[in-house]
């Protein structure tokens, strides 16, 4: 792969690729460079949303000029930024080779500040690839990697080099999905945003509730359109999928409950006649609560018993029937016609 530093033309290609929504790997292929080169270049110069070719080229040239200062020259903290200092250290260039001793910016914890920013950008990029809007991902990554545990909107604007409106929209999104909390200290005017330690658990539960809503809406639609219609069939399958997904995320049936449910179904099929819960309890020699739990599991997790379902009758008896969607009206009619008639 070509070596050397990125040219202004290369940076214009990077900016164009970001504008088109291309990933780092694709941009790297276009320039025949390592993906890590592109990742570092973007992270050092405003990130995916703030990268500008002209600014990046000027900033890189400025850094190169500073690195050529005589050895031993000291930069004060003002030149390095609040709480930071610059020290001389071996640092690989954009393609991994050592161009000489350059200055490394350290944060207040003694960490490579550039590497920290690059990690935050890579973290954000991973979330973008998972489906989050880019600005939402960048805000979330910033909040998750800050040592102060919280940031104000103004701090996010400065850190990400974007407009206040962009931050406001991202914050609104994250609040809606319960990923962050808005707080204000007593006597303080400015609000700040924080990520709680259980954020991923809450996000998981929010997702489970959303899946349950999808399941309920699909199941209602399936009944409205009719299970035997193409639309009703699609909606029913969708409802089963999201119901199973929601149940799994909430824990689903335990192995014992699932096994008991299958045993109850087998008992009803073997009996060939409607049975009550007390009758099942007697026949299976199970305590009544165990039978009730098994019946509830069979009714609640109908996808688990597919292609048969338990049918609870008004007289409080139970039978097992084929799931309606598994057979069309024509098939059921044909099967009924072939069934033996009572003499």
End-to-end CA distance of the chain, in Å?
A: 86
Q: Are residues 33 and 100 in the same domain?
A: yes
- Maximum average pLDDT range among 27-36, 146-155, 274-283, 326-335: 274-283
The answer to the question of residue 124 being in a domain is no
How many residues are there in the chain? Answer: 343
For residue 236, the enclosing domain spans 199-252
Q: Are residues 259 and 320 in the same domain?
A: yes
CA distance 62 to 66: 6
Q: pTM for this structure?
A: 0.45
280 neighbors 296 (Cβ within 8 angstroms): no
Q: Which two tokens stand for residue 239?
A: 């409802």
The answer to the question of residue 76 being in a domain is yes
The answer to the question of residue 122 being in a domain is no
Model pLDDT for residues 6-44, shown as the tens digit of each residue: 888 889 899 888 888 788 888 888 998 888 888 888 888
Domain C-terminal end among 237, 252, 267: 252
The answer to the question of residue 51 being in a domain is yes
| DSSP for 74-123, written as a single string | PP-HHHH-TT-EEEEEE---TTS---SEEEEEE-TTS-BHHHHHHHHHHH
Q: Are residues 163 and 188 in the same domain?
A: yes
Number of folded domains in the chain? 4
The answer to the question of residue 291 being in a domain is yes
Per-residue pLDDT, 57: 81
Residue for token digits 């009996």?
271
Domain C-terminal end among 67, 87, 105: 105
Per-residue pLDDT, 303: 64
The answer to the question of residue 71 being in a domain is yes
DSSP 8-state assignment for residue 150: E
């Amino acid at each position: 792969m070509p070596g050397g530093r990125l040219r202004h033309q290369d940076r214009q290609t990077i900016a164009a690729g970001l504008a088109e929504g291309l990933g780092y790997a694709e941009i790297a292929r276009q320039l025949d460079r390592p993906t890590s080169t592109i990742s570092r270049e973007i992270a050092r110069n405003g990130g995916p949303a703030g990268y500008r070719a002209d600014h990046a080229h000027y900033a890189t040239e400025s850094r190169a000029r500073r690195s050529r200062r005589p050895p031993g020259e000291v930069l004060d903290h003002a030149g390095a930024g609040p709480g930071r200092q610059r020290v001389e250290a071996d640092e690989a260039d954009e393609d991994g080779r050592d161009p000489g001793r350059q200055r490394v910016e350290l944060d207040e914890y003694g960490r490579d500040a550039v590497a920290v920013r690059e990690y935050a950008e890579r973290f954000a990029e991973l979330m973008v690839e998972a489906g989050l809007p880019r600005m939402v991902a960048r805000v979330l990554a910033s909040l998750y990697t800050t040592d102060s545990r919280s940031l104000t909107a103004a701090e996010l604007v400065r850190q990400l080099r974007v407009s206040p409106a962009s931050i406001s929209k991202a914050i609104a999104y994250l609040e809606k999905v319960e990923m962050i909390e808005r707080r204000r200290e007593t006597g303080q005017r400015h609000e700040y945003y924080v990520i709680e330690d259980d954020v991923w658990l809450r996000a998981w539960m929010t997702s489970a509730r959303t899946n349950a809503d999808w399941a309920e809406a699909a199941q209602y639609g399936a009944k409205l359109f009719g299970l035997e219609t193409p639309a009703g069939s699609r909606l029913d399958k969708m409802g089963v999928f999201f119901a199973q997904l929601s149940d799994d995320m909430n824990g689903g049936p335990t192995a014992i409950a699932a096994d008991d449910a299958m045993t109850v179904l087998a008992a009803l099929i073997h009996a060939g006649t409607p049975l009550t819960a007390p009758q099942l309890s007697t026949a299976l020699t199970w305590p009544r609560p165990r039978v009730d739990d098994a019946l509830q599991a069979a009714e609640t997790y109908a996808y688990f018993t597919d292609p048969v379902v338990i049918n609870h009758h008004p007289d409080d008896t139970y039978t097992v029937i084929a799931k309606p969607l598994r057979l069309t009206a024509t098939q059921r009619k044909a099967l009924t016609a072939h069934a033996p008639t009572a003499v």
